Amino acid sequence: MTNANALTIGSRREKRRRAAVAARRRARSARPPWEEPPTAAGRAAKGLTLGGTLAVILVPLWIIVLTSFSTPGAINRAGGLVIWPDGLTTDTYREMLSDPTVVTALMVSLGITVVGTAVSMAVSVLCAYGLSRPRSLGHRFVLLLLIITMFVSGGLIPSFLVVTGLGGYDQWWALILPSAVSVFNILVLRAFYQETSSELIDAARMDGAGDWRILWSVVLPTSRAVTAVTALFYAVGYWNSFFNVMLYMPTDSQKWPLQYVLLTYVNRANGLPGSVNSGFGNTQVQTAPLSLQMAVVVLTLVPLVIVYPFVQKHLRTGVLTGAIKG
């Protein structure tokens, strides 16, 4: 092949590449015939709306984090929450993480979240799969009962009497089982499972697979998005829960999760910023109560901030797709 031919072929390839790039750009910017190009005012309004929404989300987080790193003097000068950096320190976090009450509460919250999410997902997935099969025995009756519980409940006192009657007072399982099942999540999973390709299920049955094998090897792999989002919802619920602690173990502080420790401290820490009483355990150090409160808030947010990016990509394809298909 001569150099001239090689140059010709190379130039043709470059032209095709450029044409493909231009076509992709036109496809991205293509608008429906009925949609007019945005005006300058419209673009400015969209930018202001997005900027305002972002500020509403980020500014409180900035203030919370900054206050948690601020010294008592900086909090006193700011009159409360700190907006601009002034006298930053990590003494608050060192004190908080060295306190056995907070460390124990953190471990309790992690344990409850992991175990509770596993139990809730097992029950929800099995229930949703059974309800999604049209030939399941009594699935319509069970589905009707589940839907009724979404609108009618026995109330707080009957629930408390049932749990305590079963020996759940001051027991770990009382923090998990009473809130282990969400009918809404089951309905979302069921709607998604119903859309699983019948050809895949029929092929698996022809190969000798039973319902357990079909659920594990066919249904779950094709519904990772909705499964991940449902697990996130359960995990956030367990991580943020504190009401069951108030009902079933209000006296044993060694079994309190982090959220209840935070609630207890916020309710009793009414001193002025710069008070020597830290509010955690028996420690007596020069730390602002407000700084400690914000530090505990930051500590409760860190696990969610770490986990959320891994699940965020599934939110749209998981919840919205499952709900629309249902």
> CA–CA distance from 184 to each of 193, 207, 230, 322 (Å)?
14, 34, 10, 12
Does residue 119 surpass a pLDDT of 90? Answer: yes
Give the integer Cα–Cα distance in Å for 214 and 296: 44
Q: Rg of the chain over CA atoms, in angstroms? A: 28
Residue % of the chain over a pLDDT of 90: 4
DSSP secondary structure, 205-224, as one string: HHTT--HHHHIIIIITGGGH
The listed range with the strongest mean pLDDT (21-25, 48-52, 135-139, 305-309) is 48-52
Q: What is the pLDDT of residues 241-288, one digit of tens each?
A: 888 888 888 777 777 888 888 777 666 654 333 333 444 444 444 445
> CA–CA distance from 243 to each of 142, 154, 176, 227 (Å)?
28, 17, 12, 26
pLDDT, average across residues 121-148: 84
- Going by C-beta distance under 8 Å and a sequence separation of 6 or more, which residues neighbour residue 215? 125, 126, 129
Q: What is the pLDDT of residues 218-249, one digit of tens each?
A: 888 888 888 888 888 898 888 888 888 888 88
pLDDT of res. 207 = 77
